[in-house]
Amino acid sequence: MPTLVTSTMFVAKQRPVIAPAADGTFQLTLRLLDRLGSESRQVESWLVRWSGREAAAWWHRHGALVVAGQPVDVVLSRPRVFYTGRGDFRTAELHATAKRLALAPRRKAPPSSATPAATPSASLSQPPAALIAA
Instruction: Spell out the domain ranges in the chain.
Output: 4-107+115-128
Average pLDDT, the chain: 83
pLDDT of residue 36: 81
The band of 8, judged by pLDDT with boundaries at 50, 70 and 90, is: very high
The band of 116, judged by pLDDT with boundaries at 50, 70 and 90, is: low
Cα–Cα nearest to 11, from 33, 41, 28: 33
Rg (C-alpha) for the chain, rounded Å, is 16
Do 15 and 113 contact (CB within 8 A), yes or no?
no
Superfamily of domain 4-107+115-128: Nucleic acid-binding proteins (2.40.50.140)
pLDDT at residue 54 tops 50:
yes
Find the range with the poorest average confidence among 40-44, 47-51, 76-80.
Answer: 40-44
pTM over the 0.85 mark = no
